[in-house]
Amino acid sequence: MLRIHANNLPTLRLVGLILLILLCLVVEGIWVKELANSKARSVHLSSAREHYAVVLAELDRRWGQEAFNLKTRIESQNILDDPKGRNEQLQTFLISQGSSIEFPSLRIEKTTGEVIAAYDYTNHANPKVTLLPGQLSTWVRSAADGNLYFVIRQFIWLGKENGYLLLFKPLDHSLLTQTTYPGTRLSLWWKGDATASSDGEDGLRSLATRLQKPEISKTSLVLMWPGPVSDNTPKLLVEILSDELLETGDIVKPMVFLLLLIVTLAIGFSALNLEIAGRAKETTEDD
Amino acid sequence: MKTSILKLLLTAACLLSWQMAISAEPLRIAISVPGPGAASYYPIELISRIGADKAEGAEVRVVFSPGGPDALNQMLNNNTDFAVTGLPAAMSLRLTDERLVAIAAVNDLPLYALMVRQALKNEVKSIADLKGRTLGLHSNSVSNKSTSQQVLELLFRRGGVPPGSYRIVGIGRRWESEALMLKTGAVDAVIGDEPHATHMAAEKIAFPLVHLGNPEMARLYAGAGFLRGALIARSDKLEKDSGKTELMVRILKRTLAWISNHTAEEFANAMAITDPDDRQKLIAILKKYPRQYSKDGAFSSRQLRETEIFFIDSQAGNELAQNFRINSMINDRWVGRRD
């Protein structure tokens, strides 16, 4: 059985004090780590929200401008005026523009919906599009390639009557890869499905095992595509990937150092006290 | 209480079956290639047609691009996992992006042809006659040159026509684009390959001025036997997980073995070309150039040296290209190397 001798009391007090300090240091360390990481995450998320909101708005603006510019270029060259040669002239004009056109696929339709000319820079994109009268744009997913397309429709002059110019912009893995920055991962969601990821096909596969819908969490945020919000509006899920600001190892080192310092000081003070007490005892005995 | 436990079990079962369904799906692999309809890249179009992907538990999807640099960009921007392009095009991009690595040989024989539009038959007798004219290419970049652009620059320099003394237009490599631009006179010549060159000649849209498939002609140009088509991957993805690449190489080797064990007619049947005329042209090309495709994907040291010579020669004046060594981007771990 452990017997506590009166002489051991100061030592026990010292050990108890050191353990208490150690406990406080551990609690403090965990609290500081959590607080710092939480603040860092919050700042990172907030910056990402601000950045990607501007990026989406800028993409939307740029595509709108490019759509307008392309329409005016086609009209100013009178490319569509001659019904017999319009398709050939349009093809020649667009082929020579190379990859500089923002929209890799386009269609020209009569107002009745009859397609009178079409062009594809690479793969043929021909998803079924339904637009209400006066509606300028919509979103549609192509069954052929799985991509979500932003479709812009505008009037175009066909020489003697109006027609529609329909422009197709794919929102694919490539667009998200070029948009993302290190430490974040993007995925595009439409009607409950992830359609593109900044990590490509592997990213979509990983999303399928992790998420069933885009969710806001401590490390992710969701942005709606600019424009009128409806069930048809795509969502951009932004996930923060960067490591935590403080790892456990980062706080253990200063804590150990602080603890060693405190223990050394405590032992030092304790030894000093014992020496003073010893001298005082000797003085009392001498007297 | 019982209802809650049942609900919990049901949810767990649903989640488990969902996870199992996902893991049971074939691994999806996307490959970007210039095309469609380019003979050099038929092996890639053939993969899913002969079921070489399914046999390995994968599903290969082909994404077509107007040229090699565009196909490589598709891969670098995560639209695809791999690209198959001319090795010189990949070397050009590798000068500025070290992530590109070649992991297998696909197409051994360059079949490039300089096709001049038919109306110029009496005016254009040599390359020098094309000075100041407009040429159609598969390129779309000043910095990253497609293989066809490198071929064109080499042919023209040897023909006494330096770069800058002719106009170029990026026209992609679809038959419709090339034929239309020649027919309308928007371009005077195109640097294309088979089977388009044969089609153009047969339909009297253009005539061949130079054809590298002709051994006599190819001998005039150093390095003309360069590696025409190679499977290109990304080193950063390889470092993280080489499983997908290993699988892709197995699929490719299976396809190349199928090609070497089947006749030209069987090849055409597998490609499901419905037009009898197009089918005959394809069979004729396959018979005319029997060593067009690699048999096993292995690299040839001799061919790699030729490719390096071609690249350096075609990129005269480019200091980075002059110092580039092809072995820095070859990973022969899965296919090996001979001679």
Q: pLDDT (tens digit, 9 = 90+) per residue, B275-323? A: 888 888 889 889 988 888 999 999 999 999 999 999 998 888 888 888 9
Q: Which residues contact A16 (CB under 8 A, 6 or more apart)?
A: none
Q: Which of A59-63, A201-205, A269-273, B58-62 has the lowest mean pLDDT?
A: A269-273
Cβ(B300)–Cβ(B338) under 8 Å?
yes
Read off the pLDDT of residues B73-103 as tens digits, 9 standing for 90 and up.
999 999 999 999 999 999 999 999 999 999 9
- pLDDT tens digits, B143-158: 788 998 899 989 999 8
**Lowest mean per-residue pLDDT among A42-46, A96-100, A139-143, B298-302:** A96-100
* Residue of B19, B74, B78 to mutate, testing the A interface (most A Cβ within 10 Å of its Cβ): B78
Task: Tell me: pLDDT of A34 over 90.
Answer: no
The confidence score (pLDDT) of residue A262 equals: 80
Q: What b/e readout covers B247-258, taking b as 16+ CB neighbours within 10 angstroms? A: bbbbbbbbbbeb
B35 at A interface, C-beta within 8 A: no
- Nearest Cβ partner of A122 from B65, B170, B176? B65
Q: Inter-chain contact B172–A95, Cβ cutoff 8 Å?
A: yes
Q: What is the DSSP letter of B120?
A: G
pLDDT at A287 over 80: no
Which residues in B lie closer than 8 A to residue A202 (C-beta atoms)?
A: 81, 244
Nearest CA in chain B to A95: B171
Lookup result for tokens 């699988």: B247
Taking CB atoms and an 8 Å limit, are B30 and A201 in contact across chains?
yes
- Of the options 3.40.50.12780, 3.30.465.10, 3.40.190.10, 3.30.70.260, the CATH number for the domain spanning B26-108+226-338: 3.40.190.10
Residue A264 has pLDDT above 90, yes or no: no
Interface check for B19 against chain A (CB to CB < 8 A): the answer is: yes
Could you tell me the residue ranges of all domains in chain A?
A: 44-52+175-240, 58-170
Between B111 and A124, the higher pLDDT residue: B111
Write the pLDDT tens digit of every residue in A52-103. 999 999 999 999 999 999 999 999 999 999 888 888 999 999 888 877 788 9
For residue A145, which residues of chain B lie inside 8 Å, CB to CB? 63
B11 touches chain A (CB under 8 A): no
What gap in Å lies between CA A97 and CA A95, rounded to an integer?
5
Q: Residue A222: what pLDDT?
A: 96
A contacts of B53 (beta carbons < 8 Å): none
Q: Indicate yes or no: CB of A92 within 8 angstroms of CB of B181.
A: yes
In this prediction, residue A6 carries a pLDDT of: 64
Mean pLDDT of B129-138: 92
Per-residue tokens: A32: 């500081």
Residue A193's pLDDT is: 93
Terminal C-alpha separation, chain B: 74
Going by pLDDT thresholds of 50, 70 and 90, the confidence category of residue A129 is confident
Given the structure tokens 């592997």, which residue do they identify?
Answer: A202
Which comes out higher in pLDDT, residue A239 or A278?
A239
Q: Write out chain B residues lying below 8 Å of A95, CB-based.
A: 169, 171-172, 177, 180-181, 186
> Chain B residue closest to A203 (CA)?
B78
Please say whether the beta carbons of B330 and B101 come within 8 A: yes
Q: b vs e for A73-85, b when ≥16 Cβ sit within 10 Å of the residue's Cβ?
A: ebbeeebbeeeee
* Dihedral, CA of residue B198, residue B202, residue B206 and residue B210, to nearest 10: 40
pLDDT of residue A11: 75
| Residue from B79, B167, B241 whose CB has the most chain A CBs within 10 Å, to mutate | B79
Question: Following DSSP, what letter does each residue of B198-221 receive, concatenated?
Answer: HHHHHTTSEEEEEETTSHHHHTTS
Q: Does B143 touch chain A (CB under 8 A)?
A: no
Asked if this assembly's ipTM is beyond 0.90, the reply is: no
What is the per-residue pLDDT for A41?
A: 85
pLDDT digits over B3-60, tens only?
565 565 555 555 555 455 545 689 999 999 998 888 889 999 999 999 999 999 999 9
Pick the residue from chain B with its C-alpha nearest to A122.
B65
Q: Residue A271: which pLDDT band, with cuts at 50, 70 and 90?
A: confident
Cβ of B180 and A203 within 8 Å?
Answer: no
**How close, in Å, is residue A245 to chain B by CA atoms?**
24
- Alpha helices (H) along chain B: 2-24, 42-49, 68-76, 87-94, 147-158, 175-183, 196-202, 215-218, 235-240, 243-260, 264-271, 276-288, 301-314, 319-322
At residue B253, φ and ψ (nearest 5 deg) are -65, -40
pLDDT at residue A49 tops 80: yes
Binary contact (A197, B65; C-beta < 8 A): no
A235 vs B6, which has greater pLDDT? A235
pLDDT-wise least confident of B21-35, B129-143, B258-272 = B21-35
Provide the Cα torsion A124, A127, A131, A137; round to 10°. Answer: -60
The confidence band for A3, taking pLDDT boundaries of 50, 70 and 90, is: low
CA–CA gap between residue B259 and residue B267 (Å, rounded):
7
Contact A203 B79 (CB under 8 A): no
Q: Which of A123, A197, A203 sits opposite B63 (nearest CB)?
A: A123
Q: Does B1 lie at the interface with A, CB-CB under 8 angstroms?
A: no
Query: SS3 for B230?
Result: strand
Among A145, A202, A208, select the one facing B22 at the smallest CB separation: A208
Model pLDDT for residues B207-236, shown as the tens digit of each residue: 999 998 888 888 888 788 899 999 999 999
Pull the structure tokens for residue A147.
Answer: 């991509």
Mean per-residue pLDDT for A251-267?
A: 80
Q: Does A264 touch chain B (CB under 8 A)?
A: no
Chain B residue with Cα closest to A101: B140
Asked if pLDDT for residue A213 goes beyond 80, the answer is yes
CATH 3.40.50.300 fits B113-218, yes or no: no
Our measurement of the distance from residue A161's CA atom to the centroid of its chain's CA atoms, rounded to an integer in Å, reads 46
The answer to whether the CB atoms of A122 and B170 lie below 8 A apart is no
Extents of the domains making up chain B: 26-108+226-338, 113-218
Taking only the tens place, the pLDDT of each residue in B181-199 is: 999 999 999 998 888 898 8
For the cut 60, the answer to whether the pLDDT of residue A29 exceeds it is yes
Position B255, amino acid = T
> How much is the pLDDT for B6?
57
Percent of chain A with pLDDT over 70: 96
CATH architecture, range A58-170: 2-Layer Sandwich (3.30)
Give the pairing of strands B206-211 and B189-192.
Answer: unpaired
Lowest mean pLDDT among A157-171, A217-231, B123-137: A217-231
Q: Using the predicted structure, report yes or no on whether residue B163 has a pLDDT greater than 90.
A: no
pLDDT at A242: 72
